[in-house]
A and B are shown apart, each in its own frame.
Chain A
Amino acid sequence: MDCDLVIVGGGGAGLRAALAATLADPGLDIVLVSKVVPMRSHTVAAEGGAAAVLRDDDSFAQHFDDTVSGGEWLCDQRAVEAFVAACPQELIQLERWGCPWSRQDDGRVQTRFFGGMRVQRTWFAADRTGFHMLHTLFQTSLRHPSIRRHDEFFCTDLLVDEHGLAGVLGVDIARGTPVLYRARAAVLATGGAGRVYAHNTNAGIVTGEGMALAAVHGVALRDLEFVQWHPTALPGSGILITEGCRGEGGLLLNAEGRRYLQDYDLGPPDPWPRPRAMELGPRDRLSQAFWHEDRARRTVTTPQGSAVLLDLRHLGAERLAERLPMISEVARRFLGIDPVTTPIPVRPAVHYTMGGVATGLDGATALPGLFAAGECASTGIHGANRLGSNSLAELLVFGRAAGEAAAAWSRNAPSAAGGSLLREAQARAGQAYALLAEGHQAGRPRVAELRTAMHAAMEDGVGIFRDAEGMQRACQALAELRARYRAGVALDDRSRSFNTEWLAAIELGHALQVAETIAHAALARRESRGAHRRRDAWSARDDANFLVHSLAYCDPQAAPRIEHVPVTLTRSAPGERSYGGAGARVALD
């Protein structure tokens, strides 16, 4: 089918891009392709909030400084300047569209503390911020019939000709039939790749295929070695327990009942919440602190592994019900624990992919006509460690930018590709269908077998702390897994209708490629910075050699090629990254 613009992914970034494109150009024929109905997208699970300067005691300069130091100066500063300036506008726009931001008594928007942020900068909707943002965007999209939704269509490939992007290939999941979207502009908004790890906070759909699709066509993946562990997830399942808990005053205790973060340069352990200190430190530092506590056996044992304790008891039943209702329900339902009376056992789990498809500020990639936004993209704002509540703001700011830029591009793009495109489409679609047709052949591994092996390789070699030996082991294991995958996987299900085993096999191929890229990008960074922390000869930060982004160029058959390019600095020279210490005492309202 022909259209002007295809948006791949119906989460926050994709919906915001679609709305921006149709508002910029109401005559545009937009197709929103998503492997799930948009309100099922993983944005729905974001809990704590979205950052934007709102209060009188805050400023763009402070949001910039918190973000850049939080990212340990690997942030692209031009991108951060544009980002912090655009956040308030976007959160106000969401308010106009109906987002139920939590309010103060006088009706003004309420804000809360988040890790690494010196001011109460995080707008929230109780502890279901992503849910409310996503539903607000989805509901608003219903007002715009020029956004045609193809719910439960799975994107399998991109089509490229000499002018750039020429189309998108998909599968109608319910029927199992191939679909060709012929368009000169596409926005990838497919989310992150947290599911390449075993223990993660991500929904099952977060398998990284948008990154892999761009990479297959020569677009660089930037800074993939920076993977965020969220310090507070449930052991076993990895279900997220929001940082908002600590923003509200929650404490982290080890098995001895000690607020152990004071032992990791995050103290002093004030009884009041001190911004950028203790439990309000950044996620990389908190997850690394857990790792040390666990090795020192100062963690508690649960049936699902070791944990520390998140103590919310002092907040009281009323505040928990008002500010953290979902977390309270999750603890009751999944652990049989009432946080009003009992601390919640938590441990780090993979949460967010800081890197992604390399884009400019307008979401444009190196492939003309291809744009990317949200977690699958890398504008460079997160650097080596993302601050909590910057990603929900990001998907709005850069979702909008990508939607507007893609709309403008499609209006001026070269005419649709001709007959050769159809042949190319058939050839490429054939690859996906070959997987299905050959799935019965003997001796092939099951999808779950390869996936489990990928999880093991990543957890073992590319974890919270890394060393050369472990990363090399992971690279080797992933190369072997990719080779086995290319030789074919076993499928019980060879029918076409709603074949989720087949789709999982396609996802696995993309995930393996992203996983291998993460491992190689990590190995190539011979320093420690933010979430990339090494325990070998490169345990220190090295600004002289590694104040650089990594760019990974993927190869369908071989290991990715890693290059490094300088980081754009504007006004913040790399400095000491310090948390804790002398912060002002802050009263919670």
Chain B
Amino acid sequence: MTDPETILIEVLRWHPDTPEAPWWQSYEVPYRADATLLEALQTIKDDLDGTLTFRWSCRMAICGSCGCMVNGRPELSCHLLLRDLAPGPVRLEPLAHFPVIRDLVIDQQDFLDKLPAVGAYLVPAEETEAAAAAPAAPSRQTPAQMADYYQYAQCINCLLCYSACPQYGLKPDFLGPAALALMARHDADSRDHGQAGRRAARDADTGVWDCTLVGHCTEVCPQGVDPARAINRNKTASARDYVFDLLLPGRRR
């Protein structure tokens, strides 16, 4: 099969100055089999239409900027080759379930607010001020201990999993796959002392029990993080804590 000369890219556009109606706009872009979808968007921006608006930065699937819906599926535009999208047309929309700022740019503030809410940071052991200011040596952590959390630490915060999650679409205050995976990442780290502080968020209505086990989050993750497994793990922990709390009142801090 000979390569096509061009490929048609259709983008769902929206601008806050004319909020009434989003519109579809088509662009015919030169086709190169090993060009990425992001490069096609850059060609549009540079040469055809400077108003087309999208985020991008690293172009190697590590910064998490360029997520959008590609033919109905959440993807990183830098991570798809035109060869895999030919002959087209390719339909692009902003990531599902998020408010749109403009064109393919979504408002990610809700996710950013959820990170502190789930305690998505390591809480080191309490140390004397002097020791904390000048730690003498790294603590030890075996490869087996790392394996407990390492997969979840690969999350690049690209938000594809939120677009894939039907529960987040229905109920935006659900903490969601990435935030809950990052909660699990820190809970499972042998160096962490912050688990008690994360329990309330985990056990709340908006926490792990809100997940309906669809598993689309894991399917769309470009980094092989398994948020569904992370959430399940925390459901187990949540249930265990619940039973212990019933049996041993006063245990909970």
Of residues 135 through 192 on chain B, the ones whose CB sits less than 8 Å from some CB of chain A are 135-143, 145-146, 149-150, 153-154, 156-157, 182, 186, 189, 191-192
A497 and B60 within 8 A (CB): no
Residues of B within 8 A of A (CB-CB), count: 64
Instruction: Output the least CB separation between A302 and chain B (Å).
Output: 10
* Nearest CB in chain A to that of B57: its residue: A203
* Nearest CB in chain A to that of B39: its residue: A237
* Chain-B contact segment, one of A137-145, A213-221, A536-544, A563-571: A137-145
User: Given contacts A131-B156, A491-B50, are A89 and B134 in contact (CB under 8 A)?
Assistant: yes
**A136 to B49 Cα, complex, angstroms:** 38
A446 and B50 within 8 A (CB): yes
In the bound complex, residues from chain A placing their C-beta under 8 Å from that of B105 are 498
B122 and A103 within 8 A (CB): no
B91 CB–A CB distance under 8 Å? no
**A136 to B185 Cα, complex, angstroms:** 12
A203 and B53 within 8 A (CB): no
Of residues 108 through 149 on chain A, the ones whose CB sits less than 8 Å from some CB of chain B are 108-109, 128, 131-132, 135-136, 139-140, 142-143
Of residues 222 through 249 on chain A, the ones whose CB sits less than 8 Å from some CB of chain B are 236-237, 239-240
**A501 to B137 Cα, complex, angstroms:** 48
B139 and A95 within 8 A (CB): yes
B110 CB–A CB distance under 8 Å? no
In the bound complex, residues from chain B placing their C-beta under 8 Å from that of A448 are 45-47
B22 CB–A CB distance under 8 Å? no
Instruction: Output the least CB separation between A333 and chain B (Å).
Output: 7
B60 and A239 within 8 A (CB): yes
User: Given contacts A36-B65, A44-B62, A237-B59, are A142 and B101 in contact (CB under 8 A)?
Assistant: no
User: Given contacts A36-B65, A109-B138, are A45 and B58 in contact (CB under 8 A)?
Assistant: yes
* Chain-A contact segment, one of B23-31, B112-120, B204-212, B232-240: B112-120
**A46 to B15 Cα, complex, angstroms:** 35
B121 and A98 within 8 A (CB): yes
Instruction: Output the least CB separation between B19 and chain A (Å).
Output: 11
A-B contact count (CB 8 A): 162
A107 and B140 within 8 A (CB): yes
Proximity bits, A83-103, B CB within 8 Å = 1, else 0: 000000101110111101101
Of residues 39 through 86 on chain B, the ones whose CB sits less than 8 Å from some CB of chain A are 45-47, 49-51, 53-65, 79, 81
B135 and A140 within 8 A (CB): no
* Nearest CB in chain A to that of B137: its residue: A92
A480 CB–B CB distance under 8 Å? no
Instruction: Output the least CB separation between B108 and chain A (Å).
Output: 7
B102 CB–A CB distance under 8 Å? yes
B89 CB–A CB distance under 8 Å? no
In the bound complex, residues from chain B placing their C-beta under 8 Å from that of A326 are 62
**A108 to B50 Cα, complex, angstroms:** 51
* Nearest CB in chain A to that of B109: its residue: A151
In the bound complex, residues from chain B placing their C-beta under 8 Å from that of A498 are 53, 101-103, 105
B124 and A105 within 8 A (CB): no
A492 CB–B CB distance under 8 Å? yes
B20 CB–A CB distance under 8 Å? no
A107 and B142 within 8 A (CB): yes
A128 and B53 within 8 A (CB): no
* Nearest CB in chain A to that of B121: its residue: A139
**A36 to B145 Cα, complex, angstroms:** 33
A98 and B141 within 8 A (CB): no
* Nearest CB in chain A to that of B194: its residue: A143
In the bound complex, residues from chain A placing their C-beta under 8 Å from that of B124 are 96-98
* Nearest CB in chain B to that of A335: its residue: B34
A151 and B60 within 8 A (CB): no
* Nearest CB in chain B to that of A439: its residue: B50
A103 and B101 within 8 A (CB): no
Proximity bits, A325-346, B CB within 8 Å = 1, else 0: 0100010011100000000000
The 8 closest A-B pairs by CB, nearest first: A98-B122, A107-B140, A492-B50, A448-B46, A139-B121, A501-B50, A493-B51, A95-B138
- 16 cross-chain CB contacts under 8 A: A36-B65, A40-B63, A40-B65, A42-B58, A95-B138, A96-B135, A98-B122, A103-B142, A105-B143, A139-B115, A143-B116, A205-B57, A446-B50, A447-B50, A448-B45, A501-B45
Residues of A participating in the B interface, judged by any CB pair closer than 8 Å: 36-37, 39-42, 44-45, 89, 91-93, 95-98, 100-101, 103, 105-109, 128, 131-132, 135-136, 139-140, 142-143, 151, 174, 203-205, 236-237, 239-240, 303-304, 326, 330, 333-335, 446-448, 491-493, 495, 497-501
